[in-house]
Every structure is written in C-alpha cells, then in structure tokens.
C-alpha cells in the first residue's frame, strides 16, 4: 500500500522556526556557506535549543501518542543536507519524532509544499512565506524574537488567529482602508448574513477542526479569533464561521484595542496576524507569525 499524508495534518517548518539557530544563521547570511556547513558539522552532537514554534510542534505531535498517526511534521529548509543531520539529531534529543525533511541548500523550498499537501508552512524567511501564500498555502513568517510559549497548558494546542486577511479574505479590510471605519461598519452590517470569502488560513482552521474531531484522549485544541472588529461588524465574522460549520473556542472583538495583553491571557502556542504592527506588538507576549497577505501587505499599494 502506497505511503500517503492525505489523512494527516501536515506542518512544514524551517529549521530556524523549530530551533534557535540564530548564531549559525548569521554565518550563513554572511555569504560563507562552506563555513556555515563546517560549523553545523562541528556541532553535530550539540542539540540546538528550542525555537519559537517548538512548543506548537511538540504539542501537535502528541496527537500521535496513542499510536495513530494524525500529525506529520516535515522539515522544509534552505539548509544543506549536512546541516539537516544536526536538525534530525536535535529533534531526537528533544523527543520530537520527525521522519521527513527536505533540504535545498539555499534554493527556495516552498515548491515542495504541493507534494506534501501542507496545511501550514512556518519559516523565518519572508520571501519563502510570500511565495507559499501566493501558491495557496497557509504560511507565516516566524518572528524569531518572539517570547517562548507558556507551559501552562501542556495538554492543549492553543492557536489564535486574526480575522480579516487571515481566516477571512481582505474584502472588508479593503473597504476600511479605502473609506474609513464608518464605511467599514456599514458595509459589514449590510452584508451580515453573507459569509466572508475564505482567507489564507481557513484550510488550517478546517484541518485543526478535523484533528479535534478525530479524537485523542490526552490532547485537545483550543482556538481563538482575535480581531480588531467590534459590534456591529462582529456578526458577519461569527456567521461566516457558522457557515463553515467550524467553532472557535474564544472570540475577542477588540475594536482596535492592542491585542498583546489579551493574547497574553489566552497564552497561545502561536498567533497569526497579517499586520506587522500587530504581530510585532504581540511578539512581546506570545509566539507570533506574520501572514503577508491582503491589502496591508501589498507592496507600494495605490
């Protein structure tokens, strides 16, 4: 019987998103790949320290603890194969069970998301993330300077999502940026019963929903919608989720209030937002990733 990942939640992740390799990366970015490879080889038996997405990966893989493979994590990296040996050894040392990896030695790796059928791509490389989003895959640039995840909820995978341009399309955000808050509120009130089009992270939310329904006695998923929307624009967001037959556990309609302190109370393993200001502020409180989609990320918008 052919091996397939079709029935699994597939997360593709770069080496720097999973492990703290910032010292090594400075050498890589200096333009001396041979010196970088030598350093990685010298440190082959030195386990890399946890990176920003470490907690998320560790918890997701616990859904496999009962012997049923529900989650697959694949290293997808610009590293060379020699460096890949260290990544796999570091994962063994950390108790993270990785089987698969693709190492492209500097070439953009996002093209391999398609044969992997990935539900999420996490990378510290902004261009790789933009290309992955453009190809239709949920992807985020990990802010390597984010604080580490809380260990307060060892049996829950906690993920927080922004709404517009992340879970939903940027349709409403375009109205807001072009015409202002009053026009945005009127637009959303008039379309309250009309579901928003899907955003880039809707496939991930659906996959998490299926994983939760698949069941594992020891682990569960808790999701939160954390959005700058407020009443009356909240209704369209809620009705959209209802139309998708997906529930989030918590919804925060903050009306422009800073998201950071609310996220600190929720304590997610990861937070996804399309606006750099929100992501940078959130990174002081929780692990965060920038989703470079939608009108807020159009280069030189007119």
Q: How far apart are CA 187 and CA 104, in angstroms?
A: 46
Strand ranges inside 86-240, DSSP E? 100-103, 120-123, 139-142, 156-161, 220-227
Distances 243 to 222, 225, 230 between C-alpha atoms, Å:
20, 16, 20
- Among 162, 170, 269, 274, which one carries the catalytic annotation? 162
Q: How far apart are CA 275 and CA 293, in angstroms?
A: 9
The answer to whether residues 20 and 50 touch, using CB atoms and an 8 Å cutoff, is yes
Q: Give CA torsion, residues 5, 291, 98, 41, to 10 deg.
A: 140
Structure-block tokens of residue 167: 């879970």
Residue 37 backbone phi and psi in degrees, to 5:
-65, -40
Q: Give CA torsion, residues 18, 220, 92, 45, to 10 deg.
A: 40
Structure-block tokens of residue 12: 């593709």
162 has catalytic annotation: yes
Catalytic residues: 162
């Amino acid at each position: 019987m052919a091996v397939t990942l079709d029935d699994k939640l597939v997360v593709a992740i770069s080496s720097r998103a999973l492990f703290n390799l910032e010292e090594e990366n400075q050498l890589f970015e200096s333009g001396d790949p041979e010196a970088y490879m030598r350093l990685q080889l010298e440190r082959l038996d030195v386990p890399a320290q946890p990176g920003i997405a470490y907690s998320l990966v560790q918890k997701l893989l616990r859904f496999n603890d009962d012997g049923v493979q529900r989650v697959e994590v694949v290293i997808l990296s610009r590293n060379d194969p020699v460096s890949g040996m260290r990544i796999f050894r570091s994962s063994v040392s950390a108790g993270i069970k990785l089987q698969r990896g693709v190492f492209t030695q500097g070439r953009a790796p996002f093209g391999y998301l398609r044969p992997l059928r990935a539900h999420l791509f996490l990378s510290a490389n902004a261009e790789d993330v933009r290309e992955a989003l453009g190809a239709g895959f949920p992807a985020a640039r990990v802010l390597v300077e984010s604080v580490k995840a809380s260990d307060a909820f060892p049996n829950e995978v906690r993920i927080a999502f922004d709404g517009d341009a992340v879970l939903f399309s940027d349709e409403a955000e375009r109205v807001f940026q072009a015409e202002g808050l009053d026009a945005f509120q009127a637009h959303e009130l008039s379309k309250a019963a009309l579901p928003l089009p899907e955003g880039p992270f809707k496939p991930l939310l659906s996959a998490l929903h299926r994983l939760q329904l698949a069941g594992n006695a020891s682990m569960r998923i808790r999701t939160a919608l954390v959005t700058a929307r407020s009443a009356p624009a909240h209704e369209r967001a809620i009705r959209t989720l209802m139309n998708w037959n997906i529930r989030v556990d918590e919804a925060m309609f903050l009306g422009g209030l800073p998201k950071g302190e609310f996220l600190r109370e929720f304590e997610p393993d990861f937070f996804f937002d399309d606006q750099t200001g929100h992501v940078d502020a959130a990174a002081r409180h929780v692990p965060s990733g920038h989703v470079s989609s939608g009108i807020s990320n159009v280069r030189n918008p007119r």
